[in-house]
Amino acid sequence: MSILPLDSKEKFEIQTYGKATSVDRDTHVPFSGSPRKHPWDPERFILVADPFTHNTFYFEFKISDIGCAEELPSMTNIDGESVPMARIWVAKKSVGIRCTPFAVDEIDGEIDG
């Protein structure tokens, strides 16, 4: 089960801006992953931590909280599918969301208490 379809039209195109050397580590924190457009909010974006694993998670941030964006080498799976990767420097004290999807199910058997 994938979190987000890795369709190329869903990509969130980034342009490298700012220099990582000019970003103050006292005011920004780096996050790496595959950037995606937010499904309904054009002022936000999603960063999928590891787009080819089934048990991954993603971050959601406001675009206005980005201090710097760096392109990283693309990630390619065993089938040759490739996704762009980026390191995004986000301002400290910004509000971000980390989402970890999971399948809801019951555990078989009794639990000793």
Q: Do the domain assignments include residue 32? A: yes
Helix (H) or strand (E) holding 31: strand 28-37
**Count of structural domains within the chain:** 1
Q: Do the domain assignments include residue 106? A: no
Q: Do the domain assignments include residue 47? A: yes
Counting Cα atoms < 13 Å in the Cβ hemisphere of 107 gives: 4
Query: How is residue 46 written in tokens?
Result: 């999603």
Q: Do the domain assignments include residue 112? A: no
Domain that holds residue 68: 8-99
**pTM, to two decimals:** 0.75
Q: Do the domain assignments include residue 109? A: no
Query: How is residue 69 written in tokens?
Result: 């964006």
Q: Do the domain assignments include residue 53? A: yes
Q: Do the domain assignments include residue 3? A: no
Q: Do the domain assignments include residue 54? A: yes
Query: What pLDDT digit, counting tens, does each position of 24-79 carry?
Result: 889 999 999 999 999 999 999 999 999 998 888 999 999 999 999 999 999 999 99
**How confident is the model at residue 51, as a pLDDT?**
93
